Amino acid sequence: MKKKMVQNTLLLLLGVISVLVAILLLEGKWAGLLSGFGAMLASLSGVRIYSEQLFKRNPELKRRHDITENDERNVQLNNAAKAKVYEFKMWPFLTFFMVLLLAETQLWIMLVYVGFYILDFFIYLWSLNRLMNEM
């Protein structure tokens, strides 16, 4: 719990510093990128810190939150939805690949794109193998 709090506080600081650096020291696309990244990091860790504090003050709320999160039906529904997304993902991938091809995009961009898809597939196979050994 304390470790998480320290982690989130550090991430919050990193986010705030990133935004400040982007505003004060940088210009153009790098300023935009860094401020976006910093804002995302700061808001995410800020919300986590706030909810941790809220749960600390209200254990009943924490218990209800944990029940909802660990509820076996919710977990199954969540996993089924993720599996559906994984199955569906191939079509947008192929469509975008065709767009890249027709737009005569540089070869390395297409290779990186395909590489990510292959990596994704290998992660799937690795997870499947690990789960088969576990169960």
Which amino acid, residue 29?
Answer: K
Residue 79 contacts residue 56 (beta carbons within 8 Å): no
Contacts of 35 (CB under 8 A, 6+ apart): 18, 19, 22, 23
Nearer to another protein, 67 or 99 (CB): 67
Nearer to another protein, 77 or 114 (CB): 77
Q: What whole-number distance in Å separates Cα of residue 35 and Cα of residue 38?
A: 5
Please tell me the count of residues contacting another protein according to CB under 8 A.
Answer: 7
Residue 19 contacts residue 35 (beta carbons within 8 Å): yes
Residues 98, 100, 105, 108: is their CA dihedral positive or negative? negative
60 binds another protein (CB under 8 A): no
Min dist CB 69 to another protein, Å, is 10
Between residue 76 and residue 135, which ones bind another protein under the rule CB under 8 A? none
Nearer to another protein, 63 or 82 (CB): 63
74 binds another protein (CB under 8 A): yes
Which window, 21-29, 71-79, 88-96, 102-110, contacts another protein (CB under 8 A)?
A: 71-79
Residues found near another protein in the complex (CB under 8 A): 67-68, 70-74
